[in-house]
Copies of this chain bind each other. A is one copy, B any other.
Amino acid sequence: MILALAGGVGGARLARGLAAILPPDDLTIAVNTGDDFEHLGLLVCPDIDTVCYTLAGINNAAQGWGLAGESWAFMDALGKLGGESWFNLGDRDLATHVLRTGMIGRLALSEITALLAGRMGIAHRIVPMSDDRVRTMIDTDEGELPFQHYFVRRRAEPRFRAISFDGIETARPSTGLLDAIADPALEAVILCPSNPVLSITPILALPGVRTALAARGVPIVAVSPFIGGQAVKGPAAKIMGEIGLATTPPGLAAYYDGLLDGIVIDHVDAAADAGNTALHVTATLMRDLDDQRRLAAETIAFAQRLR
């Protein structure tokens, strides 16, 4: 049994690789919900949707977010009516947000996610990190901004000063996440190549999660989202730089502060030394399902060698 922690696009790609090689009962994908936000009265869960759409094979692979074959009539009409148009909601994507928003009082986010994932034909367990409301806030040189306002509306341009997770002190990890950690069959925890600060840290920051993972005694392996110091996608490298951490294997090991047993890194970074943290060198860029499968299989094999 593998527990994967995932956030945005890179995380979803590795999660798809894991799902392609593991039976449904042998994988739990716990997804960051710090990026969730209320927009136009709708509850939008970008990371859950990216993981679901990617596993269902209905994602827009070229764009990196949203659905393949998406259309934008809603956004066009919204703009003409003077509505907020800085966050793109495709016509098809809207169905997910409207359905979820309609259920959120009656059902927990875990239940809604399982329901929608099932309707998308996904057999594997995708669980939100928590059913409680956690909202990532970014302190910047323009003041504190809710995550999507920082990330999308302001295109991550303001200088990042600090991150916090509103609601995290009282949020409980979801049952699905706790069950996976406690599962006697758990063999490894994989930190997907998502943004460490924005996507993985909220999951680890949930009360008890980091401690429980460290105490569990199974290998914890991260797949680095950096290749030659650069993020494959998104502002991870810029943010790591603004925090003062190096986007290198030792930088990543230091950021996770002793949690990791190993890191999967790209050939470009083969010369790196991360001290006590074992390294596995391979091609980490995932361009297609074959790349995703191969990287997932290598990561599992690497973790098993670390037991």
Contacts and interface: CB of A to CB of B under 8 A. Distances in A.
Interface of A: 40-42, 67, 70-71, 73-78, 80-83, 90-96, 98-99, 101-102, 116, 119-120
Contacts of A91: 71, 73-74, 77, 91, 94
Nearest to A79: B95
Given A40-B98, A101-B41, A92 B73 contact: yes
Given A41-B102, A101-B41, A73 B71 contact: yes
A81 B101 contact: no
A238 to B, nearest CB: 32
A99 B71 contact: no
A98 B81 CA distance: 11
B71 A83 contact: no
A293 B73 CA distance: 32
A83 B103 CA distance: 11
A182 B91 CA distance: 44
Contacts of A119: 80-82
12 contacts: A71-B73, A73-B92, A74-B95, A74-B98, A75-B95, A77-B93, A77-B95, A81-B95, A81-B120, A82-B119, A83-B99, A94-B94
A207 B286 CA distance: 66
Nearest to A105: B41
A77 B92 contact: yes
B120 A92 contact: no
A200 to B, nearest CB: 28
Contacts of A73: 70-71, 73, 90-92
Nearest to A104: B41
Given A74-B94, A91-B91, 15 more contacts: A40-B102, A41-B41, A67-B77, A73-B90, A73-B91, A74-B91, A77-B91, A77-B95, A78-B95, A80-B95, A80-B119, A81-B99, A81-B116, A83-B99, A91-B94
Contacts of A102: 40-41
Contacts of A82: 119
A156 to B, nearest CB: 26
Contacts of A101: 41
A76 to B, nearest CB: 7
Nearest to A38: B102
Nearest to A39: B102
